[in-house]
Amino acid sequence: MKRLLIFLFVIISASLKAQSSGPVYRQFFYNPYTFNPAYAGLNNRSELGLIYRKQWVNFQDAPTTAGLSLQIPASDRVVIGFNILSDKEVLMKNSSFMTSFTYVVPLGFQESLRFGISGGIGMNGLNLTAEEMNTNDPVIINAAGNNYYINGNFGAVYTYRRLKVGFALTELFDSNPFNPDRFNRFNFSNLRNRLYSASYRFELESFQTPIAIEPYFLYRESEDGLQDYWEAATLVHFKETFWTGLGYNRNNGLALFAGLNLKEKFSFSYSYEFPPFKAVTFSASSHELQMNIRFGRERTPASKPSILLQRYKKKKPQNLSRPPKKPAGRNHFGRAPGRIVERESKPVTEREPQILQEEVSKPAEPVPSGRNYYLVVGSFQEKAHADNMVQQLKKEGHAPDIAVNPENHYYHVYLFSTSDPELAKKQLAEYKQSGPFAEAWIFSAD
């Protein structure tokens, strides 16, 4: 009887494994790289991710998945990734290792197109005892050994500000461990295993505590249609520190999410998946825990330069002169401490709107922390690009300057500085109402 059950399991697995489209995780929002290689490095930091998923708690031989991922931005356009996965389901064991390459194509300010491809090897096997292995059945014999196969996937992601739209081919190669005619042959699959994703983050600035709402939608299709599913979820982020949410998967039902950020270096995320509605016991619930560790310096993304940069970026640097010697008593940005330095406004035409401020004779009241706040309109890794933007803004009648971020050594071009955070926010709100500087942001430093 037991041998008959093994035989039935192998036959069923044979029909499904060929159309397998990867493990089903419930926390796409937390580490989308595990779904689509083009999402690698989306946070612009090196990240080590750990994942553990246990389905149908208290059921013997229930599916268990453990994995590790590593994302390393090699530059502002290239990200290298690694992904290790171990999956056990009843008698089947699967382990895989893949490495990925992701390239970012900047399309504008906070707009990019990302491409990622992964490749590696996997190993399938049956966890059978010596007695169970004592059989002449060719199906079980073919599946019982540790069988290696080639694995890979491809993805593309379009990002624009807070919008992300992705597409992935989750299985590039055709391999079935239960079919000797198809296994270990490096054939391309029919590319019918696909994953579509879309998410958008809404920032609610009217609340005293910063709150963001992030809904997302997934749709996965498989070769035979038996494993197709859709998933919709919504996350609520509180102050970039804590989040919670609710999601529904067509096949796996309802799930609750909760997570926490610790000092911007460690984060944890947990999901509780309720038993299917037809289940008669809570033992059918599933749990998933993920943890990310961020390290290394944060990189400015390739899409970070402002809209003005796209207009003048192609111009080569021309005999950039050294900045004049700073007078005594001024800080390293060339501004008097605690004083707002602006220029007189010039007539503004409808064709080229300018954001200029009247000269302020009274210095802003300094805050106890001693921090300065800068309204940044461009951020660059190369100083030559920052100098080009400064020169162009001066030609347009502005009074720009450069602030250096001591953490990542990027050059921030800003038009306004103050030691009063409320004044900086007020000025930023005015900037956002104008086309050329609608994407300005605040950088603060001691």
- One digit per residue, pLDDT tens: the chain, 446 residues? 445 444 444 444 444 443 344 567 889 999 999 999 999 998 888 999 999 998 877 777 678 899 999 999 998 899 999 999 988 876 677 888 999 999 999 887 678 999 999 999 988 776 655 555 555 555 555 555 557 788 899 999 999 988 999 999 988 887 655 455 544 555 666 788 899 999 999 988 766 678 889 999 999 998 877 788 999 999 999 887 899 999 999 888 899 999 999 887 899 999 999 886 655 555 678 899 999 999 887 776 665 544 444 444 444 444 434 444 444 444 444 444 444 344 444 443 334 333 333 333 333 333 344 688 898 888 888 888 888 888 888 887 788 999 888 888 888 899 888 888 888 888 888 877 666 777 788 888 87
Of 157, 175, 239, 173, nearest to 205 by C-alpha is: 239
Residue 347 phi/psi, 5-degree rounding, is -55, 140
In single-letter form, the type of residue at position 401 comes to D
String of b and e for 24-46 (b: at least 16 CB within 10 Å)? Answer: bbbbbbbbbbbbbbbbbbbbbbb
Q: What is the pTM of this model?
A: 0.63
Q: Phi-psi region for residue 227, left (φ > 0), alpha (ψ -120 to 50) or beta?
A: alpha
Domain residue extents for the chain:
12-295, 307-445
The pair of three-digit structure tokens given for residue 19, joined into one six-digit string: 């159309």
- The residue behind tokens 């809904």 is 215
Distance CA 62, CA 55 (A): 6
- The residue behind tokens 């940069």 is 309
pLDDT value for 165? 97
In the DSSP assignment, the letter for residue 208 is: S
**Which residues have C-beta within 8 Å of that of residue 26, sequence separation ≥ 6?**
53, 231, 247, 249, 252, 255, 257, 271, 273, 286, 288
12-295 CATH pick, 2.40.160.50, 3.30.70.420, 2.40.160.20, 2.40.160.40: 2.40.160.40
- DSSP of 284-325: G-EEEEEEEEEESPPPPPTT-S-HHHHHHTTSPP--PPPPPP
Residue 154 phi/psi, 5-degree rounding, is -140, 145
pLDDT value for 323? 45
Distance CA 232, CA 217 (A): 5
In single-letter form, the type of residue at position 76 comes to D
